[in-house]
Amino acid sequence: MFEHFENAEHHLIRLVSVIGVSVEMRREQLVQALRANASLAHGALALNGDEFCMTDTLSLEDSDPSEIESAVAYLAETADHYEQVLFGTDHH
């Protein structure tokens, strides 16, 4: 999933990969996710409504298609990893 938006006249794209349902997460899982957040190369683990997800924001003005493609691949792979680690599944 992605969304296009502007911030201070810059065109940005936010990439989002759902990992799981946040209301199903135990305190220990949330703490583990926050600790993992500090070690990510880029992007972030986040809550988006009732969804726990991996998100990354890129500048559309400064990114070429291969950079966006690489970011999508990294996001999907990393989100799948944390879904397996935190939920023991890979449904998303």
CA dihedral (40, 71, 77, 75) positive or negative: positive
Question: Is residue 25 a part of any domain in this protein?
Answer: yes
Strands 51-59 and 10-21, sheet pairing: antiparallel
Question: Is residue 18 a part of any domain in this protein?
Answer: yes
When divided into structural domains, the chain yields a total of 1
The Cα-based distances of 23 to 14, 15, 20, 35, 50 in angstroms read: 23, 22, 9, 19, 6
What is the pTM assigned to this prediction? Answer: 0.84
pLDDT in tens, the chain (92 residues): 777 777 878 889 999 999 999 988 999 999 999 999 999 988 999 999 999 999 999 998 888 899 999 999 999 999 999 999 988 887 76
Question: Is residue 92 a part of any domain in this protein?
Answer: no
Instruction: Report the CATH number at residue 33.
Output: 3.30.1460.10
Q: Please give the residue range of the domain that contains residue 30.
A: 2-87
Cα(45)–Cα(64) distance, integer angstroms: 24
